[in-house]
Structure 1
Amino acid sequence: MKILEVATFKLGACGPTEVLIPIIKNINIENEHSVDVFSTLTFDEKKEKKIKSLNANYFYKQKNKILSKKEIVAAIPDFETYDLIHIHGVYNIDNIMIAKLAYQMSIPYVITTHGNLMEESLQHSKIKKKAALFLFIKKFLSHAECIHALSNKEKKDIEKIIKHKNIEIIPNGIELLENSYKKENGIKDDKISLLFIGRIDIHHKGIDILIDSLLSLEENLIEKYELYLVGPYDGHFDEEYIKSKIKENPILESVIKIEGPKYGNEKEVYYEKADIFVHTSRYEGMPIAVLEAISQGLPILVTPETNLADIVEQSKNGFITSANVKEVEKSLIELNTFNKMELRELGKRGKNWASLNLSWNIISKKYLKMYSKYVGD
């Protein structure tokens, strides 16, 4: 099979790119298959080197404007020779234009929505998204041979929008790593260390919910927690929100640790030292940072909106809460009943389950099976 992956390809970003790199690498190892990439962004030399290292061709937009049929054919040589096109993301007009051309040329295409159609996501910019659904996206979805969802919840939310006959569920995968770091980064043994890694977007990531849940705890209980926020602020509002919250509630000075963005080994130190990874998002695709935490043997506390409730239920490696203050507070109270050894055992359980179900080799084979099913239909 000859497959073209279409995505907003960004190195160093979470989301579709972090999924595509190991998928392409694994599939292109097999000589009978080949995967190429079209980025809906213009040329980037670092991306070209990375993609070529995966034995894939790298195509990209020539200009920062909406693609026309002529520009698609010019940018992607032998477009008509692909057996299947896999499109990542819904709210991208270039994706819709490529899908339209594929449909006209009878090339089957698959869409991965990456959480774009989940109920909570649709509440954000609600009017614009409803208009786009009506004008463009339902047709875009209906012409797809298959819609790929990351979880049962996402599948159910997609079905509320369109009754598509083929909706496949394949979760994101993880790279399983050996823990190799020593206790030297200052996280205290006498406190329960909560860890969040990612973009500090107060509303989207539900960080306001998490902080207010901590503040709802009795004083003798909140003092047992430390919350490490690792990542860049999404914007000025988010930074000011955290600063104001700490100023208004002095107890948070000893609870919240703003660590800033960390990468590579520096980031992995936090996975190694924390007691539990928390992600109380209001909507998500399937956050790579949480999967990385599982791969490092950390238990997790997540909302269903992260698209990870299925994994927690199956692996029994943590806690599922709801995206509201009262429910997260209850989860924190329950968490306090576990000692550190019990939390480590939860984390080990999750890592063991993931090694059998979420390795990139396993997930890549599921992608290939999905592709094979719809090629030539």
Structure 2
Amino acid sequence: MKVIHLILGKANPERMNGVNKVVHALATEQSRAGWDVEVWGITRDVAENYPPREFRTRLFAAGRNPFRLPGALTHALHDAARPAVVHLHGGFIPTYYAAARQLRTLGLPYIVTPHGSYGPQALRKNQLAKRVYLRLCEQYVLRHAARVHCLGQSEVQGLQALNPALPTSLLPYGFELPAAGPPPVPTPGQVFRVGFCGRLDESHKGLSCLIAGFGEFARRQPGAELWIIGDGPDRERVERWAAAAPAGTIKVLGSRFGEEKFDLLRQLDAFAHTSHYEGLPVSILEAAALGIPCVVTEATNMGPYIRRFECGQVLAEAQPGQFAAGLQRCFEQWKSTPRPQLRQRCRDMVSTAFAWPTLLHDYQRMYQQALYA
């Protein structure tokens, strides 16, 4: 069985696009396990300007009309070896409406992973436009999908509200625990350093809550620091909010990738993610794999894992008061728990709940269900 991951982009892990990172990791692990897997990307720039990889990648030039498939992609789907399953990544993408119709014509089953697009909070963003598009196009994509793959419980709830009859699979992606690197950099004196890493998009990531809640926390812990790693459409707003924070030190560091990013993460005492909606954020797993406790919202879909392994705090929603209280609890845990023990809990969460060898069996079963749906 061939698995074809279809995405917008190139599955470049060195970008601030979480979907690209997830698809790169998933295809890498599937290839290592001996699967017949390829990534097909629709992009305006078809230059192969990404790091070496272990799976075949085919790039197709995007046209001006987002509701039409590139001609070369249509031919490639027609010629694809059978049996095959096409795995669409993302939601509310006009090109996928065209892809779904073409795949149905060709008799090729497909799976949709929305990556957070159908969570209740995500559906409220541009609500009227999404409601119209859902009725005209997206319902077709969902209705004819062999499976809808959910990364977290919030997506299942959102899908049930849209159509309770949809065949869903709830399955996280895995994460490869890095080899033990240099020990965490100790923070000086009374400094408690909190970090965030991701796209600077307020409506998605809850950045006003991140900064306002940190300011409340820093009034009680004046040595606190917040490092914001990333870039995006709201960077200027974030910089203004950071400059106006009533207490603590906030640094907006811009995008960082590879070892430069991990060198910064290793200097954190806690990692924060106050998103309004998500699929499953890679950045939380990256931080936890380094042994850093996390303060996250339920919307990240990481709450059950954080609670199970006692490696951080979970907020009901992105509210500054809740975040400040969560940081305070994390700070008390950080003071009262031996650092090696706390770090090990974080790493245990990643190595146990997100182990690729176990999860690949579940993915194989999902693809088989799609193939014979």
C-alpha distance in 1, partners of 2:110/2:283? 28
Partner of 2:337: 342
Secondary structure at the aligned position of 2:173 is classed as coil
Q: Is the 8 A contact 1:280 1:303 kept in 2?
A: yes
Partner of 1:136: 137
Q: 1:23 aligns with which of 26, 30, 43?
A: 26
C-alpha distance in 1, partners of 2:184/2:310? 26
C-alpha distance in 2, partners of 1:183/1:73? 49
Cα distance change, pair 243–179 in 1 and its aligned pair in 2 (3 A):
farther
Q: Is the 8 A contact 1:209 1:280 kept in 2?
A: yes
Residue 127 (1) aligns with residue 128 (2): yes
> What amino acid sits opposite 1:315 in the alignment?
F
What aligned pairs does 1:164-203 form with structure 2 within 5 A after superposition? 164-181=165-182, 187-203=187-203
Partner of 1:114: 115
Secondary structure at the aligned position of 1:223 is classed as coil
Q: Is the 8 A contact 2:46 2:59 kept in 1?
A: no
> In the TM superposition, what is the alpha-carbon distance from 1:153 to its structure 2 partner?
2.3
> In the TM superposition, what is the alpha-carbon distance from 1:4 to its structure 2 partner?
1.3
Partner of 1:3: 3
> What amino acid sits opposite 2:193 in the alignment?
S
Partner of 1:223: 222
Residue 44 (1) aligns with residue 39 (2): no
Query: Quick one: percent identity of the two aligned structures?
Result: 22
Q: Is the 8 A contact 1:24 1:35 kept in 2?
A: yes
Cα distance change, pair 122–208 in 1 and its aligned pair in 2 (3 A):
same
Which one is further off, 300-309 or 16-25? 16-25
5+ residue gaps, structure 1, are none
C-alpha distance in 1, partners of 2:114/2:45? 24
Cα distance change, pair 193–245 in 1 and its aligned pair in 2 (3 A):
closer
Cα distance change, pair 244–166 in 1 and its aligned pair in 2 (3 A):
closer
> What amino acid sits opposite 2:47 in the alignment?
E
C-alpha distance in 2, partners of 1:339/1:81? 53
Partner of 1:329: 324
5+ residue gaps, structure 2, are none
C-alpha distance in 1, partners of 2:142/2:338? 42
Cα distance change, pair 30–217 in 1 and its aligned pair in 2 (3 A):
closer
Q: Is the 8 A contact 1:8 1:41 kept in 2?
A: yes
> What amino acid sits opposite 2:367 in the alignment?
Y
TM-score normalised per structure 1: 0.88
Cα distance change, pair 75–301 in 1 and its aligned pair in 2 (3 A):
same
Partner of 2:153: 152
Q: Is the 8 A contact 2:62 2:70 kept in 1?
A: no
Q: Is the 8 A contact 1:42 1:61 kept in 2?
A: yes
Q: Is the 8 A contact 1:73 1:79 kept in 2?
A: no
C-alpha distance in 2, partners of 1:196/1:30? 33
Cα distance change, pair 244–63 in 1 and its aligned pair in 2 (3 A):
closer
C-alpha distance in 1, partners of 2:101/2:307? 39
Q: Is the 8 A contact 1:230 1:258 kept in 2?
A: yes
Aligned residues: 367
Partner of 2:366: 370
Secondary structure at the aligned position of 2:332 is classed as coil
C-alpha distance in 2, partners of 1:289/1:341? 26
C-alpha distance in 2, partners of 1:238/1:20? 26
> In the TM superposition, what is the alpha-carbon distance from 1:129 to its structure 2 partner?
0.8
Q: 2:302 aligns with which of 286, 304, 308?
A: 308
Partner of 2:85: 84
Partner of 1:284: 278
> In the TM superposition, what is the alpha-carbon distance from 1:286 to its structure 2 partner?
1.5
RMSD: 2.5
Partner of 1:209: 209
Deviations 1:286-330 (A, max 9, x none): 211111111111111000111211221332211101211221122
C-alpha distance in 2, partners of 1:261/1:343? 32
Deviations 1:240-283 (A, max 9, x none): 4433552x44x44x421222222222211222221110001112
Partner of 1:297: 291
Q: 2:352 aligns with which of 350, 356, 361?
A: 356
Deviations 1:218-260 (A, max 9, x none): 73x140421111122x13x5324433552x44x44x4212222
> In the TM superposition, what is the alpha-carbon distance from 1:48 to its structure 2 partner?
7.7
Cα distance change, pair 215–284 in 1 and its aligned pair in 2 (3 A):
same
Cα distance change, pair 223–16 in 1 and its aligned pair in 2 (3 A):
same
C-alpha distance in 1, partners of 2:269/2:97? 43
Q: Is the 8 A contact 2:197 2:228 kept in 1?
A: yes
